[in-house]
Chain A
């Protein structure tokens, strides 16, 4: 479903700040795969996400989604295939617009937009049905401005908006990192449920190792722009946070600095 072939990306090329953000990155996700990505700051996780979403274009290599080469396809066109949830709960929704208007925008992700009414009666019923899934009571507040919602509610809405049109790929970029623990747990549970319901091919970046172990069927670890460790479904089941840290030390010959990654 998602394939990355020999991706290279360099920042600030030819300056003293030159940085190899991604080096020979290879990735292959089968339909329904849910892969978690861990790694310290600067490991290239965000660059990886940006290359898949089309926000950045690789210097070398190919991005293939659903059998199509989308390496040079523009971000907004590629978005038809990709659902995204950002780290910042404010980033995934339009605060000055109502809940139903936001949902209508998300609903049109896979279609071309015309002069038809955005929020119709049928769509509204559909939105209500989907909102009930979140158990936050948002289905009764369709007319409320999204800016009035709490961070957790906004992130839950973002998650719903990114997924209810069943994208080919779901990209989650540390989408629980900016929330308090209780809210983060709620969003994690919702993520699990939604990905399972729609059988979404998912790539989730996280700082939280425990979360990376709890969610998904595959796991990769990145460091300094390279993929350094992979675990498949069986291997992942026997992994613990301690084992992951040991693995990192064995491969890199140095301890993963604890301030760079949340261990629990």
Chain B
């Protein structure tokens, strides 16, 4: 079990980048962007093909990020200039990217197991620091010895850095304008902001993060597969919603942290669910969908109940105060 949880946190930290991308489109721009299913694979495909071709894995990942940015911008163009409904623009782009991803890879699966990747490089760097021994000694009591702590810690740091950059970006003049675009388009247009451009840019950034995550996941898992993005948007939404429900979303600083937490938590939930005897790996998508449905519905039911109780209490209190007044009148007379 500790090994499974350790793995979930590792993977969760990498998927957190994708979840942050989904947070940008879904929450900040109020744009349910289905491009994610395609751009995640685009990131994986571009980086995998380049790495196999001998490109430095860090450069390959950077190019993957740029490819994701381009994909997001095209979705934005379809929506703003082509006047296509947000959901449909995303679906169109997702389907188009499926073919493009196949073209990029040339086949449906590119293995990376024998290649030097960002993950192997980072692991080597971490081991050269010699921190593993210290951590191992600290946790030797539990009898749990992972291969390396490097990926876990470095990926958590990476997710945190990206989070801080997003937080800062959203307080700049452009960032404020992007947030207002998702919040009140009439208003921001009356303050001389080009909402079309802001949406295109926002979707570009969102998908750049998604592709970044896809590139790292491919290198983490040791392969890029054309089907690895299926349902990715729902996983992203699950992470955002779970995170916000558990860690809160009062400010952006808190919400982005919550999204990272949500992504990790999601991985843990899935791992735990798969340990249940009768569930199979193929059930994961169904589980994810159910998690999102519950996460969306339960808070509403709870809120309704709380509201009802609050009202009941108020009525009772009023009746009580009224009774007192009545009593006062009685004693007066």
Residues of A with Cβ closer than 8 Å to B?
53, 74-80, 82-84, 86, 90-97, 101-102, 104-106, 108-110, 113-119, 161-162
Contact = CB atoms under 8 A, between A and B. Distances in A.
B195 interface: yes
A76 B173 contact: no
Interface string B297-313: 00000000000000000
Interface string B138-178: 00000000000000000000000000000001011111110
Nearest to A165: B191
Closest 3 CB pairs of A and B: A79-B192, A113-B173, A94-B183
A80 B192 contact: yes
Decide if the interface of chain B is mainly helix, strand, loop or mixed: helix
A115 B172 contact: yes
B180 interface: yes
Given A105-B180, A114-B174, A115-B172, 13 more contacts: A79-B189, A79-B190, A82-B190, A86-B190, A92-B190, A96-B179, A101-B179, A105-B187, A108-B173, A113-B176, A113-B177, A116-B172, A117-B172
Contact of B192 (A91, A95, A97, A110): A110
Interface string B190-234: 111111000000000000000000000000000000000000000
B184 interface: yes
B188 interface: yes
B186 interface: yes
B184 A118 contact: no
Nearest to A88: B186
Contacts of A96: 179, 183
B181 to A, nearest CB: 9
B191 A108 contact: yes
A109 B186 CA distance: 14
Contact of B189 (A75, A97, A106, A113): A75
A83 to B, nearest CB: 8
Given A96-B179, A105-B177, A118 B188 contact: no
Contacts of B195: 76
A53 B184 contact: no
B189 A76 contact: yes
B192 A77 contact: yes
Nearest to B195: A76
Contacts of B192: 76-80, 108-110
Given A91-B186, A119-B171, A97 B191 contact: no
25 contacts: A53-B190, A76-B189, A76-B194, A77-B192, A82-B190, A86-B186, A91-B186, A94-B180, A96-B179, A104-B173, A105-B176, A105-B188, A105-B191, A110-B192, A113-B172, A113-B173, A113-B174, A113-B177, A113-B193, A115-B169, A115-B173, A116-B173, A117-B172, A118-B176, A161-B191
Contacts of A93: 184, 187
A109 B173 CA distance: 10
